[in-house]
Amino acid sequence: MKRVEPNLTDPLIIAEDEHLLVVLKPAGMNTHSPAPHAGEGIYDWLRHREPRWASLAIVHRLDKETSGVMVFGKTPLANRSLTEQFAEHTIRKRYLLRTDRPVKASAFTAESAIVRSGERYLSRPLHAGADRAETHFKVLSRENGVALVEAVPVTGRTHQIRVHAAEHGFPILGDTLYGGSDWSRLCLHASSLTLQHPATGETVTFEAPACFERDSRQSLRAAIVDPAETNAFRVVHGASDGWPGWYVERLGEYLLSQSEASLTPGQLEHLRSFPGVRGVYHKTLNRHVRRTAVTDVCPQLVSGDAAPERFAIRENGVQFEMSFQEGYSVGLFLDQRDNRRRFLVNHVAAGFPLLASGLEGAEVLNAFAYTCGFSVCAAKAGARTTSLDLSKKYLDWGRRNFALNGLDPAAHDFIFGDVFDWFRRLAKKQRMYEVIVLDPPTFSQSKEHGAFRAEKDYGKLIDAALRLLKPDGVLLASTNAAMLEPERFLEMILDAARASGRRILQEHYVPQPPDFPISRAEPAYLKTVWLRFA
């Protein structure tokens, strides 16, 4: 029997070959997206991330709050083989769980029918026509009132282990849905998977050890962020991470905390627990920021050493300048990290390359450019970029970002002014672009155009941009207007497209990245769609 150990330098990928992709799913991430505009599941995130994963198929699932080994098929042969093995129950799945309740027998088998009742599932005696659910349990250890239990499900019903454990008096620690004690996570982990390799017939086992003590919120970040390439990401996202109203970002060696109130002692203690942090800053969120002096809205040092006036962070191998002394914004919106990466790899989604021939020599227009993050990534991929913004300060900041990455700013255009005004000028000059980026603020105001509100004016922006987009060109449209529902956002774009006579060839909707987790308590705010137009 061949055993494959997890690759500890890349905690997400356990093993991969031509036919199989085996991953360590973090707790807190769905297997697949639960709705069209919800957060991506691990399947969606993987399938749209790399061209070689475009044909991934789901052959088994784990609950959102369950961590552990998952296998995806990459070829029709693998999909058929794995589906048959799961259906015939020849794949051996081994789980580990913790419970703080007494387990009456050291080893036993639970067998019943499981039926759905709202959000829960119930165990019922076996009866004619019912699907049988069978789980073998074995106590591995008992320490300080907590038992570590092995669970081997013979069948694969939804919530099977959780329901059987609760039915037999030992609900899983953290499984409050089934009567378990409150805990920072659901203490259920798929520790190993043994199967016949679809191509060779060899018996292979894939394993990943359980670590219930580790903060599951940070495990999720560790699974999706490669520290060698990226050291800037969100580490606390409000209520989704158990801290309503509090948001924290890692920016290299510094943490930036944001909330409407001062930090509590508990929050400050949590921030000091992060390894490798030199300094902690806090920014008080202010709804009236436009009427506040710059010095009053800058983040304030609350712990550790002060950051230099300017310092660099790393995102997908690209460097960006940050500053805590320039007012409300520090230099980069981290929720667009995956979208900026799409320029670097020329890959929007499965079957959707950004440009068929690549970005080398392509013309990219980045409107509302801010510090030119999208422009830098497009230029790194070989494009010639035009960055348009209403702030000279941010355009100068963008030029420094170009230079920081060995790119000559003089080889690219930086335009100061109102987007609508310049769109008209560029159209008169018959300037056309292969890619246009639209990521406007929710509200902006200029002398030339007046007020822009995303909730009511986004359609006008699309109409103006389409006049500059080449045939077969790609438009990236994004908004963080929390009150603008995804359906209405897409409707505005489609209405503008129909009015312009342009036909949409490809479309891919993207929510915010997994380190900005979406939950009922912390709904999605970022909406992004990539569109290729005829």
- 527 within some domain: yes
- 425 within some domain: yes
pLDDT at 32: 95
Q: How many domains does the chain have?
A: 3
pLDDT at 444: 75
pLDDT at 319: 98
Q: Note down the domain range covering 348.
A: 333-533
Q: Give the model confidence (pLDDT) of 18-50 as tens digits.
A: 999 999 999 999 999 998 899 999 999 999 999
pLDDT at 295: 61
Question: Which among 175, 207, 239 is the end of a domain?
Answer: 207
Q: Give the model confidence (pLDDT) of 215-274 as tens digits.
A: 999 999 999 999 999 999 999 999 999 999 999 999 999 999 999 999 999 999 999 999
- 215 within some domain: no
pLDDT at 443: 75
Q: With 0-12 CB in 10 A as exposed, 13-18 as middle and 19+ as buried, what is 377?
A: buried
pLDDT beyond 80 at 51: yes
The phi, psi pair for 509, rounded to 5°, reads -90, 140
Q: How confident is the model at residue 451 (pLDDT cuts 50, 70, 90)?
A: confident
Name which of 34-48, 120-134, 361-375 the model is least confident about: 120-134
Q: Give the model confidence (pLDDT) of 398-410 as tens digits.
A: 999 999 999 999 9
Q: Give the model confidence (pLDDT) of 294-337 as tens digits.
A: 666 899 999 999 999 999 999 999 999 999 999 888 999 999 99
CATH of the domain at 461: 3.40.50.150
Regarding whether 307 and 281 lie in a shared domain, the answer is yes
Q: How confident is the model at residue 292 (pLDDT cuts 50, 70, 90)?
A: low
Tokens standing for 488? 């209405």
Regarding whether 266 and 396 lie in a shared domain, the answer is no
Regarding whether 136 and 55 lie in a shared domain, the answer is yes
Quote the DSSP letter at residue 257: E
pLDDT at 456: 84
457 part of the active site: no
User: Comparing C-alpha atoms, which of 383, 456, 386, 450 is closest to residue 416?
Assistant: 386
- 217 within some domain: no
Regarding whether 308 and 392 lie in a shared domain, the answer is no
Tokens standing for 501? 């006579």
Question: DSSP per residue over 74-133, as a string?
Answer: -SHHHHHHHHHHHHTT-SEEEEEEEESS--S-SEEEEEEEEEEETTEEEEE---TTPPEE
The enclosing H or E element of 237 equals strand 232-237
Which residues, including other chains, have CB under 8 Å from residue 28's CB and lie 6 or more apart? 64, 65, 185, 216, 217, 220, 517
pLDDT at 6: 44
Instruction: Please state the rounded mean pLDDT for residues 107-134.
Output: 90
8 A C-beta contact, residue 376 and residue 407: yes
pLDDT beyond 50 at 4: no
DSSP lists the bridge partners of residue 444 as: 452
Regarding whether 360 and 486 lie in a shared domain, the answer is yes
Quote the DSSP letter at residue 285: -
Please give the share of the chain, as a percent, with pLDDT higher than 90: 88
The phi, psi pair for 148, rounded to 5°, reads -100, 120
Question: Which among 164, 180, 207 is the end of a domain?
Answer: 207
Regarding whether 235 and 199 lie in a shared domain, the answer is no
pLDDT beyond 90 at 437: yes
Question: Which among 207, 233, 252 is the end of a domain?
Answer: 207
- 325 within some domain: no
Regarding whether 243 and 196 lie in a shared domain, the answer is no
CA diameter of the chain = 81
Regarding whether 162 and 15 lie in a shared domain, the answer is yes
pLDDT beyond 80 at 83: yes
Instruction: Please state the rounded mean pLDDT for residues 99-124.
Output: 94
Q: Give the model confidence (pLDDT) of 476-532 as tens digits.
A: 999 999 889 999 999 999 999 999 999 999 999 999 999 999 999 999 999 999 999
CATH of the domain at 109: 3.30.2350.10
Q: How confident is the model at residue 390 (pLDDT cuts 50, 70, 90)?
A: very high
- 219 within some domain: no
Regarding whether 291 and 200 lie in a shared domain, the answer is no
Regarding whether 405 and 356 lie in a shared domain, the answer is yes
Sign of the CA dihedral running 431, 432, 436, 438: positive
pLDDT at 3: 44
CATH of the domain at 296: 3.30.750.80
8 A C-beta contact, residue 439 and residue 412: no
* Given 63, 175, 335, 457, the catalytic residue: 63
pLDDT beyond 60 at 474: yes
Q: How confident is the model at residue 290 (pLDDT cuts 50, 70, 90)?
A: low
Instruction: Please state the rounded mean pLDDT for residues 467-476.
Output: 98
User: Comparing C-alpha atoms, which of 381, 389, 312, 368 is closest to residue 340?
Assistant: 381
The residue length of the chain stands at 534
* CB atoms inside a 10 Å sphere around CB 4: 12
- 327 within some domain: no
User: Comparing C-alpha atoms, which of 208, 228, 236, 219 is closest to residue 68?
Assistant: 208
pLDDT at 498: 93
Strands 352-353 and 247-251, by their bridges, are unpaired
Regarding whether 487 and 350 lie in a shared domain, the answer is yes
- 218 within some domain: no
Residue the block writes with tokens 């035009």: 386
Regarding whether 307 and 366 lie in a shared domain, the answer is no
